[in-house]
Every structure is written in C-alpha cells, then in structure tokens.
Amino acid sequence: MPEFLTILSSQDWQAIQLTLKLCLYTTLILLLLGTPLAWWLSLSHSKLRTAIQAIVALPLVLPPTVLGFYLLLLLGPHGAIGSTLEQLGLNHLAFSFSGILIGSVIYSLPFTVQPLVESFRRMGPRPLEVAATLGASKLDQLFSVILPLCRGGFIVAATLTFAHTLGEFGVILMLGGSIPGETQVLSVLIYDHTEAMNYAQAHQLSLGLLITAFAVLFIVYGLNRRFEREAIL
Amino acid sequence: MISLLQHAAQHCWQHISQPRQLAAAPECQTLTVQLSLALGEFSLQLNNSLPLNGITALFGRSGCGKTTLLRAIAGLDRHANAQICLNETPWQQGKQFVPVHQRRIGMVFQESSLLPHLSVEQNLLYGFNRLAKQTAVRLQPEQVIRLLELTSLLKLAPQYLSGGQRQRIALGRALLSQPQLLLLDEPLASLDQQSRSEILPFLQRIANTTGIPMLLVSHQLDDVVKLADQLVLMQHGRIHSQGPLQQQLLQPELAAIGAMSLLHAKSQGSHNHLLQLSIGQQQLQLPSPQHSVDANYSATSYRLRIQARDVALSLKPLSDCSVSNQLQVSITGIHPAPHPAELLVQLELDRQPLQALLTKQSADRLGLQIGQQVYAQIKAVALD
C-alpha cells in the first residue's frame, strides 16, 4: 500500500466506510423517492406545486444547522417521531445512523429532484403518448421510454446527490454528533482532527475529499456535455 | 425512388391507385362520439355518429376542435361525461375508460414523433412487438416495409432522416400495431412541399391496400381533396356536416375557401401520350403522367380535381377553341359566390357534381337556368 494510505488510522478507515455507506444509501433512497416527486412536479398544474417546489428547494438556502436543529427536535426522544418510536419499543433516531440518513435524504433532495424535473420537461409528454398509442402500459413506458430518454438526468441526479452527501457537515453534527462507526463521517472526523490539533491527519482526509469531489463534478459536467450534444443531434 | 418522387412532385402527378381486385375489402366502422366541453372561449359540443370508410377527413379552421376530438378518440385526454364507442365497443362510457394502450388505434402526430433512442427498425417494431401478440396479425413488418419503401432506412437513427421519411416511418409504425382505426393529426402540416409529396401517395396506397379506415385531421383543403373519400366539416366546436367528399365540396363554407370539384374517371389507356379517361359516356383527354411513382401500381381510376375558376360554360359545343375537354352537363343550381360580381353554378354529369365560377354578367348574357343543358369547358385538371 502507498504510504499515504498506510498512515490512515483505523478510525479514518471507519469514517471513510461510513461516509460511503451514507452516500450510497442516500442516493438509492432519493432516486426511489425523488423520481415520482420530480415526475409530479414536471407535470402538475396544481396549486400545491409551487409550495412543494419551495419545500424541495429549502435545503439549498437554509443553514444546515437549522435543518439539523429541527430534525433533532423531531427525531429525538421528546420529538413527535422519536417519542412515538420509543412508545413502540424502538429507539429514537437522534445520534444514530438512521437519523443522519433521514437528515441526508432531506438535505440532498433538491440535488436529485431538480436534474430529474429538468430532464422530464426536456423529454415532454409526446414520447409517452406515442408509446401509449403503440400499446405500452405505464410501467412499460417507464422502462422503454422514460429511463432511456432521461438517462442523462438520472446519472446527473445520482452523482450530484452522492457528491452533495459527501460534503454534508452541519446537519450531521447537529443531529448525529460524532459517534465512531455510527455518525462520525469524514467531514465530522476532519473537524475532530482539527479540534485536536491533528493537522496532518485532517490534511490527508481533506485532500482526499477535495480530489474526490473534483473528480465527481468533472465527470458530471463531462456527462452533461455529452447528453446535451446527443439532445442536439 | 426518392428522386422519382421528387420528379413526380414537380410535375404534380401523383397517381398511386391500385387495380380494384387487389384492394382489401374496405372495413366500415362506426364511431359514436358524445363530447361536451368548454374552456374559456373554446367549446366543443358533439353528439355524432361517424361512419368511417376509407379516408375520412376531419376538416375545419385551426382552433375548431379537430385535434381535441382526435385526442379524445385516442384516449390521450379524458373528458368528463364523454362517451366514445367504436362499433359496439365502448371506449369511454360513464366511469368506464379504456386506456390508450388498450385501444386498437394507430396514431400519427403532427410533428415527427419517432422515439429518438431507437433505430428506424426498432421504432417500426415498437408497437408490433407489444400488440401483435394479443391480436391477429394482418400486417407483417415485411409487408409494411415494402408498402412504404422503408428498406434502405431500417438501420438509421431517426435524427438522420428527412421530415417526410420520419412521417412515413411513423405511419408504418402505427400500421404495424395492427390498428382498427388510424388517426392522423395533420401529418403533413410540418412538412415542406417536397416532403409532402414523399408521403401523400403513401397515404392513398395504405387506404387502398390495407382497408383500415383513417380519420385525417387537416386544415388544408387541397390535401383533403387529394386524399379523402368522406369529409366531416367542423365549425366552432361542432360538426357542421358530413358525407361523401364530392357532395361536401358543394357546401358554401367550403366553396368560400376555394370552390372546386372532384370527378371520378376511368382510365381507357394512353394514346400518343394522352391519357384517355371516361366519365359515363363522355370522354376526356389529358397528358399522360410521365413519372409513374411505381409501375406496379398502375391506375385504373383517377381523381380529377377541377377548380371552379377553371370551368367555362357555353350553350353549344365549341369547335374553334383550344380547350379540348368539353363535357355535356346540366345545371342543378345557381348560387351567389363570395365575390359579389360572381356566381357559382352547380352542374351535374353522370350523377357527379361539378362547379363553375362565372361572373354574373356572363351568366345573364347566356341566360343560364336550372335544368338547362350546357357544355363545360375544362381548362385545367389536377390528376390524382
């Protein structure tokens, strides 16, 4: 192993693993929840739409601490959701992986929904009408028309969600604290290292994140260009 | 083939027809529509039964509700309290609503609607693969590909095709889904003149060979007269009148757009590059079409489109006149024309209507009266 990797402590490795798990779960959950939501937003003319649009975009403008604070109240032992869970004999969700997963899903929602809405709008209703007149049911249309035609939108949405969750800090710190293996993700660990004056370790992880984030964004913009070119053809 | 078509377009000869004995038995379908909706200024009030046989044109000005009606028939839009039945099968009635993908319709949209991620071949087979399993296959891919001359395009991506080629493929794709009814929503509207000529003859050919009834939405009277057998005239969200095209052309609403007539003539062969045509006992001669689009589809009957402006009347046959096509006709009606100085004279020969546009002055000079026998000089004819 290169020297750079061998000097990472087991705590560092645990944080890397946890971060990747959080990013992966968040992305998968958001693709499942965000697709129908984005579909509805791209089609609906209901008055509710404006309100939902604003709610989806909230995490873009709110300080993560505000989001984390309210989630802590809601999911904690005295919150509406947390106390209900306790009554059911389960644990409340503050300071747990499930808790920060919920936080991440809400925090990264706009990064899934907006590229999808954009690509659904670009496709327009016509290809689906065509497919329907040719005998394709709704489910068939999803796999034979929507997924291939909006492939670019799905890839961009997934990558941006993954990358944005990678950089999450405020919500996790507020809601999850810094429990190794449970809520101590890379961004939180870097903060802890810095607090403890372990600048070398903080630097290694920071540089690693910087390079990863750049690579991910580079890929996204590259794909975007490719899909735009395809769309023009 | 394409260059031939282009050539044909320049000469305005489009005469794809088929010997009658080869044609599939035409299917007569009846579409019953009850529809009532109002959106601001726009309202649509329909309670009609449309017999569909051959090509039925749904004609009217933009915004009269043609496309809305077509989309309701297809099931693309669901309107409350509408009732739509094809023959005995209800497609929409009360709470019952057969979704689009379960109605056996083929639809061609106004603009190119090929699925961009599929090749021409995959587009053609999209509906076939889904519907051919459920219903008896009457049209095989090879047949349709031959009929619409698509062989050379199969492996291409839709992006590399001309507008006319795309619409031809959309038409083939719709046919391969084995429809009971073809719905065409202004399929020629987005095409230039040349592309139109790449698709018009094929519509005719499909009607003649497959027997599948077509409902063609159009606001171009020219296209309608070239193609349609029946005409449904729509005005302000209602069906004004419906019936065979020949009779419908006598409607004052259509005459106002450009009075013309349609005559059906039989071919008696060609002599000295002149096509010999007969209407009942009377003969016409026209320059033979030089560029037959397809030698296999030699025509035995032709449609003659004659502008009312191109018909002159005389009381006696003229011998010292360059117009060689003179037909003996009887006057069945004399009506005011859109221009105050003109009259529209309705004539009849062999039970087919013909219209002539004259000045009032000429009509007075000749003393034209209903029931009178006169001679119609036909100056120009478009042959389809």
Three-class SS of residue B271?
A: strand
> Distance between the two ends of chain A, CA-based, in angstroms?
46
User: Closest Cα to residue B94, out of B104, B84, B102, B108?
Assistant: B84
What percentage of chain B reaches a pLDDT higher than 90?
45
Q: Which residue has the higher pLDDT, A224 or B25?
A: A224
CB atoms within 10 A of CB B344: 21
Q: How many CA atoms lie within 13 A of A126 on its CB side?
A: 12
Residue A112 to residue A30: CA distance in whole angstroms: 7
pLDDT recorded at residue B5: 36
Q: In what order do the strands lie in the sheet with B42-52?
A: B42-52, B29-39, B83-86, B89-93, B96-97
| Residue of B101, B116, B174 lying closest to A137 (CB–CB) | B101
What is the average pLDDT across B210-221? 90
CB-based contact B117 A133, cutoff 8 Å: no
The pLDDT-based confidence of B8 (bands split at 50, 70, 90) is very low
Q: How many residues does chain A have?
A: 233
The pLDDT-based confidence of A97 (bands split at 50, 70, 90) is very high
| Contact status of B94 with chain A (Cβ, < 8 Å) | no
| Residue of A127, A132, A145 lying closest to B101 (CB–CB) | A132
| Contact status of A43 with chain B (Cβ, < 8 Å) | no
The pLDDT-based confidence of B17 (bands split at 50, 70, 90) is very low
User: Closest Cα to residue A223, out of A120, A137, A140, A154?
Assistant: A154
The pLDDT-based confidence of B207 (bands split at 50, 70, 90) is confident
DSSP, res B311: E
Q: Quote the pTM value.
A: 0.80
Residue B117 to residue B123: CA distance in whole angstroms: 9
pLDDT recorded at residue A5: 54
The pLDDT-based confidence of B2 (bands split at 50, 70, 90) is very low
Per-residue pLDDT of B51-109, as tens digits, reads: 888 899 999 888 888 999 999 999 999 998 889 999 888 999 988 999 999 998 999 99
Residue A193 to residue A206: CA distance in whole angstroms: 11
Query: Using a CB cutoff of 8 Å and minimum separation of 24, what contacts does B272-281 make?
Result: B275/B302, B275/B383, B277/B302, B277/B304, B279/B327, B279/B349, B279/B350, B279/B352, B280/B349, B280/B350, B281/B350
The pLDDT-based confidence of A229 (bands split at 50, 70, 90) is low
CA distance, residue B168 to nearest chain A CA (Å): 15
**Phi, psi for B363 (deg, rounded to 5):** -60, -40
Per-residue pLDDT of A130-154, as tens digits, reads: 999 999 999 999 999 999 999 889 9
pLDDT recorded at residue B1: 38
Per DSSP, chain A holds a count of helices (H) and strands (E) of 13, 0
Residue B291 has pLDDT above 80, yes or no: no
Q: In what order do the strands lie in the sheet with B230-235?
A: B105-108, B181-185, B214-218, B55-59, B230-235, B238-244
CB-based contact A132 B127, cutoff 8 Å: no
ipTM attached to this prediction = 0.81
Mutant choice from A133, A147, A227, A233 vs B, greatest count of B C-beta within 10 A: A133
| Contact status of A73 with chain B (Cβ, < 8 Å) | no
Q: Which residue has the higher pLDDT, A8 or A122?
A: A122
Which residues, listed in sequence order, are joined to residue B274 by a DSSP beta bridge? B271, B287
- The first and second tokens of residue B77, run together, are 């839009």
